[in-house]
């Protein structure tokens, strides 16, 4: 059995700041790992998936993306975190979750901790900064 894993964009300062918050404040059993350092094949993930959204890989290999990945992370943390995790998966909230997630992802370079690199796809980052930067 693999440990639950939450995969995020380690080249994005906003995403990294959020991951650090999660590690400090949300007691999930999940290992948080930037996709740039993850064994994507072993996790059953593709480059397209991790560039599109954060990913959750459960102990049973179940994969969830974006807001559903966040909901599963929160539910895994138990206690009070399970309530917002479950709410995020309910229809009224779930219908809004992806549009909100996509807006945040599209504007993460303008959010606290964000940098210009946060707005670029990996291939473009590699051309500008070199593959060793990401």
**How does pLDDT run across 32-49, given as a tens digit for each residue?**
999 999 999 999 999 999
Q: How confident is the model at residue 134 (pLDDT cuts 50, 70, 90)?
A: very low
Sign (positive or negative) of CA dihedral 27, 25, 2, 65: positive
**How does pLDDT run across 53-63, given as a tens digit for each residue?**
999 999 999 99
Name the pTM for this structure.
Answer: 0.84
List all residues 6 or more positions away from 68 whose beta carbon is below 8 Å from its beta carbon.
56, 88, 89, 97
CA 113 to chain centre: 16
- Are the C-beta atoms of residues 53 and 100 closer than 8 Å to each other? no
């Amino acid at each position: 059995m693999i440990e639950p894993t939450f995969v995020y964009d380690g080249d994005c300062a906003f995403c990294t700041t959020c991951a650090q918050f999660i590690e400090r404040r949300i007691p999930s059993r999940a290992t948080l790992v930037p996709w740039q350092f993850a064994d994507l094949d072993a996790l059953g993930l593709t480059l397209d998936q991790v560039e599109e959204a954060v990913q959750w890989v459960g102990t049973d290999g179940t994969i969830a993306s974006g807001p559903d990945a966040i909901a599963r992370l929160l539910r895994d943390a138990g206690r009070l975190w399970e309530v917002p995790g479950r709410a995020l998966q309910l229809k009224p909230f779930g219908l809004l979750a992806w549009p909100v997630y996509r807006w945040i992802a599209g504007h993460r370079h303008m959010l606290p901790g964000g940098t210009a690199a946060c707005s670029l796809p990996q291939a473009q980052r590699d051309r500008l900064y070199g593959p060793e930067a990401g």
